[in-house]
Chain A
Amino acid sequence: MSDHAKSSPLKSYFGVWIALLVGTYLTYAVAKLDLGPYNAAVALIIATTKALLVALFFMHLKGASEKLLKVVVISTIFFLFILVALSMADYATRWYS
């Protein structure tokens, strides 16, 4: 977030943009293949990569002067993970339904 002009982030912006579009196409194409349970994993991996690209480059999280912002992102994801994981502690062990 420094306000001196960057040397040219335009290359990285357009690069990320292309990568995001390619990722979208990949997601759509891979869904047509039968990878069994790995379909979901691949889709989520691609989605997470795209999300990271947006966060790091478009939202300027990479190279942000305050580490604090990264702490905010990581803690949020951590607590969301807790919600999922501990709920699954119940759902995964119910042995019915």
Chain B
Amino acid sequence: MSMATPIVTPVEREDYLNKEYGVASWLLTTDHKRIALLYLISITFFFFIGGFFALLIRLELLTPAGDLVQADTYNKLFTMHGQVMVFFFLIPSIPAVLGNFLIPMMIGAKDLAFPRINLLSWYLYIIAGIMMLHCILTGGVDTGWTFYTPFSTAFSNTKVIEAGLAIFVSGFSSILTGLNFVVTIHRMRAPGMTWSRLPLFVWSHYATSIIQILGTPVIAITLVLVVAERALHLGIFDPKLGGDPLLFQHLFWFYSHPAVYIMILPSMGVVSEVIACFSRKRIFGYHFVALSSLAIAVFGFLVWAHHMFVAGISVYAALVFSLLSYSVAVPSAVKVFNWTATLYKGSIHYDAPMLYAFGFLGLFTMGGLTGLFLAALGIDVHVTDTYFVVAHFHYIMVGGALMGYLGGLHFWWPKISGRLYPEGWARLAALIVFVGFNLTFFPQFILGYVGMPRRYYQYPGEFQVLNVMSTAGATVLGIGYLLPMIYFLWSMRYGKPAPDNPWKAAGLEWQTQSPPTTFNFEKEPVVTWEAYNYDEIDTGHKEEVKVVG
């Protein structure tokens, strides 16, 4: 800067962060963007808790003997790792943070349809979280995150009721978020924002919301039955009374299988946005990708008993569910092909969000293909309840969902915070996450294949090398996760102020200020262009539609 330039204090623009200060303005907010940040802080907290349990698990598994913790304690570790990660991190993650923040802006609305219900969702999540924390701190649960009966109802000596109730409450948080999104997407779109112009991020959240609305109530009633049976000795799942433990499993998995699509669909939405932006191209086969989200939501409800192949269901039912499970892979494959076709002849940029998207593509594909292995009855008999299954779902949930979440956080961070994160560190972190992830979980495919069961705290000596690799990988992965937490926080104070559209991305959210004002748009936008109009953006043919005053 030349010495002659006077120092001008930039006028601080009003945005949703500085509009009001004070705890009450945050805890009583109805601004979807503030609620998104409240969620961001809460789920990050639970991510640490779930991660802490994972750390203890991997430490125990460094040695073949069960020498770090007792067997009962180990049961609690993997149970609570699963419950916390699934219900308190993954299921809310992208919808509650990125979905809440972005969907109104992406469709040109001022807020969600029901802002106060949005806040209620967060409070329900917090209440559930406190219940879960209390349960963990006063002894925890050891039934596995799957709560199978009759162990959970009649034999476990741990806090099943409290954990069940906590998850019940968190389920209502999830239902209300899904309800809010569906009504918003149907009723609050700006003029000209037709269904065919919606960002694929919105389509995927619409599909996710359908699953949340239809599936979550079933696990809610299942948990009610488990709690009632345990507290009042009702005996619906008790074989001694003629009850059927498999009934619990049918009801449980009717939700919990679609739940995995709740966890992956939003991430797929992020990947669509990121790949389009960093290839500077419209997503190939937009309508196929949009409809495949809906197909995944619908087909996802048809396959639940593939978790029960060896539990005692009839062979005929096993055949039906195996066949249906193959069908659900098709729409996912459609997406992967379309993303790949988008990359073809695109102008690829390797910014951090794109690195996460690439990671997603490869790892989700591996996770998905190994899911097909498991859908084949013959293979499943051999690898069910082994580390093969553990590796499969971690490839999807961590290699897929979590990478999409991180990629999305990076992509929209300038919009959310008004600051740029340090790109160099971000790329490094993405690489560390990718390497750490594969080192952690690829050995687990092999472990499962050669026979190491899941949920065991000791194992034969010949499995140790692979377990040590896995624990080493987990350490690397942990570092990879810590880095963004550090530099995101750092950027809020010291990061470069972000322009309104640092990526020159398509989408109405980028037409707002960074960070946006409380009501997002000064004037309601009128949409006259197609989604992903990167050709217009890059050649400057599109008139800059100023929707910010």
Give every chain A residue within 8 A of B317 (Cβ-Cβ).
Answer: 86, 89-90, 93
Q: Are A90 and B301 in contact (CB-based, < 8 A)?
A: no
Q: Are A76 and B214 in contact (CB-based, < 8 A)?
A: yes
| Complex interface residues of chain B between 309 and 344 (CB less than 8 A to chain A) | 313-317, 320-321
Identify which of B218, B302, B314 contacts A93 (C-beta below 8 A): B314
Q: Are A82 and B301 in contact (CB-based, < 8 A)?
A: yes
Alpha-carbon distance between A94 and B321 when the two chains are bound, in angstroms: 15
B330 to chain A, nearest CB (A): 18
Give every chain B residue within 8 A of A83 (Cβ-Cβ).
Answer: 218, 254
| Complex interface residues of chain B between 205 and 264 (CB less than 8 A to chain A) | 210, 214, 218, 246, 250, 254
A79: Cβ under 8 A from any B Cβ = yes
Alpha-carbon distance between A58 and B210 when the two chains are bound, in angstroms: 26
A87: Cβ under 8 A from any B Cβ = yes
A48: Cβ under 8 A from any B Cβ = no
Identify which of A68, A75, A76, A90 contacts B305 (C-beta below 8 A): A90
Q: Are B305 and A86 in contact (CB-based, < 8 A)?
A: yes
A14: Cβ under 8 A from any B Cβ = no
A95: Cβ under 8 A from any B Cβ = yes
A72 to chain B, nearest CB (A): 9
Alpha-carbon distance between A39 and B186 when the two chains are bound, in angstroms: 43
Q: Are A93 and B214 in contact (CB-based, < 8 A)?
A: no
Alpha-carbon distance between A83 and B303 when the two chains are bound, in angstroms: 10
B319 to chain A, nearest CB (A): 9
Given A93-B314, A95-B314: A86 touches B186 (CB 8 Å cut-off): no
Q: Are A89 and B254 in contact (CB-based, < 8 A)?
A: no
Q: Are A68 and B186 in contact (CB-based, < 8 A)?
A: yes
Number of A interface residues at 8 Å Cβ cutoff, please give it. Answer: 13
Name the residue of chain B whose CB is nearest to the CB of A79.
Answer: B214
Give every chain B residue within 8 A of A89 (Cβ-Cβ).
Answer: 314, 316-317, 320-321
Alpha-carbon distance between A82 and B320 when the two chains are bound, in angstroms: 13
Q: Are A87 and B250 in contact (CB-based, < 8 A)?
A: yes
Give every chain A residue within 8 A of B250 (Cβ-Cβ).
Answer: 87, 90
Q: Are B320 and A86 in contact (CB-based, < 8 A)?
A: yes
| Complex interface residues of chain A between 35 and 56 (CB less than 8 A to chain B) | none
Contact-size category for B: 10 to 19
Give every chain A residue within 8 A of B186 (Cβ-Cβ).
Answer: 68
Alpha-carbon distance between A86 and B308 when the two chains are bound, in angstroms: 13
Q: Are A90 and B218 in contact (CB-based, < 8 A)?
A: no
Alpha-carbon distance between A79 and B218 when the two chains are bound, in angstroms: 11
Give every chain A residue within 8 A of B302 (Cβ-Cβ).
Answer: 82, 86
Q: Are B214 and A90 in contact (CB-based, < 8 A)?
A: no
A68 to chain B, nearest CB (A): 7
B151 to chain A, nearest CB (A): 21
Q: Provide the A63-97 mask, 1 if CB < 8 A to any CB of B, else 0.
A: 00000100000011001001100110110011100
Q: Are A75 and B214 in contact (CB-based, < 8 A)?
A: yes
Q: Are B314 and A94 in contact (CB-based, < 8 A)?
A: yes
| Complex interface residues of chain B between 78 and 120 (CB less than 8 A to chain A) | none
Give every chain A residue within 8 A of B214 (Cβ-Cβ).
Answer: 75-76, 79
Name the residue of chain A whose CB is nearest to the CB of B242.
Answer: A97
Alpha-carbon distance between A73 and B353 when the two chains are bound, in angstroms: 40
- Best-surrounded residue of A83, A89, A90 (most CB of chain B within 10 A): A90
A85 to chain B, nearest CB (A): 10
Give every chain A residue within 8 A of B305 (Cβ-Cβ).
Answer: 86, 90
Give every chain A residue within 8 A of B301 (Cβ-Cβ).
Answer: 79, 82
Give every chain B residue within 8 A of A76 (Cβ-Cβ).
Answer: 214
Alpha-carbon distance between A75 and B313 when the two chains are bound, in angstroms: 27
Name the residue of chain A whose CB is nearest to the CB of B214.
Answer: A79
Alpha-carbon distance between A66 and B302 when the two chains are bound, in angstroms: 28
Alpha-carbon distance between A93 and B305 when the two chains are bound, in angstroms: 14
A55 to chain B, nearest CB (A): 18
| Complex interface residues of chain B between 284 and 321 (CB less than 8 A to chain A) | 301-302, 304-305, 313-317, 320-321
Give every chain B residue within 8 A of A94 (Cβ-Cβ).
Answer: 313-314
Alpha-carbon distance between A94 and B308 when the two chains are bound, in angstroms: 14
Alpha-carbon distance between A89 and B301 when the two chains are bound, in angstroms: 14
Give every chain A residue within 8 A of B321 (Cβ-Cβ).
Answer: 86, 89
Give every chain A residue within 8 A of B316 (Cβ-Cβ).
Answer: 89, 93
Name the residue of chain B whose CB is nearest to the CB of A97.
Answer: B244
Alpha-carbon distance between A86 and B254 when the two chains are bound, in angstroms: 10
Alpha-carbon distance between A87 and B251 when the two chains are bound, in angstroms: 9
Q: Provide the B156-197 mask, 1 if CB < 8 A to any CB of A, else 0.
A: 000000000000000000000000000000100000000000
Give every chain A residue within 8 A of B304 (Cβ-Cβ).
Answer: 86
Alpha-carbon distance between A44 and B369 when the two chains are bound, in angstroms: 44
A90 to chain B, nearest CB (A): 4
A23 to chain B, nearest CB (A): 27
Alpha-carbon distance between A83 and B315 when the two chains are bound, in angstroms: 18
Alpha-carbon distance between A89 and B315 when the two chains are bound, in angstroms: 10
Alpha-carbon distance between A96 and B254 when the two chains are bound, in angstroms: 23
Q: Are B313 and A90 in contact (CB-based, < 8 A)?
A: yes
Give every chain B residue within 8 A of A87 (Cβ-Cβ).
Answer: 250
New A-B pairs, 8, CB < 8 Å, besides A86-B321, A90-B313? A68-B186, A82-B302, A83-B254, A86-B302, A86-B320, A89-B320, A93-B316, A93-B317
Sample 28 A-B pairs with CB under 8 A, ordered by A number: A75-B210, A76-B214, A79-B214, A79-B301, A82-B301, A82-B302, A83-B254, A86-B302, A86-B304, A86-B305, A86-B317, A86-B320, A86-B321, A87-B250, A89-B314, A89-B317, A89-B320, A89-B321, A90-B250, A90-B305, A90-B313, A90-B314, A93-B314, A93-B315, A93-B317, A94-B313, A94-B314, A95-B314
